[in-house]
């Protein structure tokens, strides 16, 4: 014997709730799909166009909205040498590093180098940098023969300049070694 299903008409409250849900969801979907990146001309939106202005002046950049979106603030390659004085910077760069004398290096002693990164004031300096604690530093040596560490007491950082005292050491015994970094 087959059970007979009885179809009930939905109540008016259920119908209105479904309509409200549909309208609410379609409105959000419409708003989310109305303005796309291709609809905005590059550099057309300024902080004045954002409600409240965000407390900034000038054009908005990705790093202004979310500092975590910023690429490396600075990087460089320094040739190791065996005499004190200015060390050779082979290459350098980074989103906020100056293109004119952006990185300098100085050999202080065997395996000890002071590396200075100068900010490019035209790109907002080193955003959100107030001390070395705001940095994630990675130092690697040539061909795995050495590894670097940063000594914080001799290092400093602010929005205009980052100074790092780097110690290059042999990985097997930790002795200081002049090595490119």
Taking only the tens place, the pLDDT of each residue in 3-36 is: 666 778 888 898 898 888 877 766 655 555 566 6
| Selected residue with higher pLDDT from 55 and 16 | 16
- Beta strand ranges found along 44-174 (DSSP E): 75-79, 85-93, 103-109, 112-118, 147-150, 156-157, 161-169
Residue 134: closest CA among 158, 100, 107 = 158
Do 96 and 105 contact (CB within 8 A), yes or no?
Answer: no
pLDDT attached to residue 108: 92
To the question of pTM greater than 0.85 for the whole model, the response is no
Q: Give Cα separations from 116 to 39, 74, 134, 162 (angstroms).
A: 41, 10, 16, 6
Q: Choose the weakest-confidence range: 47-51, 58-62, 79-83, 150-154.
A: 58-62
Distance CA 135, CA 138 (A): 10
């Amino acid at each position: 014997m087959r059970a007979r299903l009885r179809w009930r008409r939905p109540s008016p409250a259920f119908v209105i709730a479904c309509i409200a849900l549909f309208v609410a969801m379609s409105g959000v979907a419409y708003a989310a799909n109305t303005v796309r990146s291709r609809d905005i001309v590059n550099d057309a939106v300024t902080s004045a166009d954002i409600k409240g202005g965000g407390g900034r002046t000038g054009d908005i950049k990705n790093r202004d909205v979310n500092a975590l979106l910023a690429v490396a603030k600075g990087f460089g390659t320094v040739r190791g040498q065996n005499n004190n004085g200015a060390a050779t910077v082979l290459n350098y760069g980074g989103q906020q590093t100056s293109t004119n004398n952006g990185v300098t290096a100085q050999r202080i002693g065997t395996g000890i180098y002071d590396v200075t990164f100068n900010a490019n004031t035209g790109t907002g300096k080193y955003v959100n940098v107030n001390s070395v604690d705001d940095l994630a530093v990675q130092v690697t040596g040539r061909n795995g023969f050495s590894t670097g560490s940063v000594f914080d007491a001799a290092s400093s950082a602010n929005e205009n300049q980052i100074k790092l005292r780097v110690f290059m050491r042999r990985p097997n015994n930790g002795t200081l070694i002049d090595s490119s970094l």
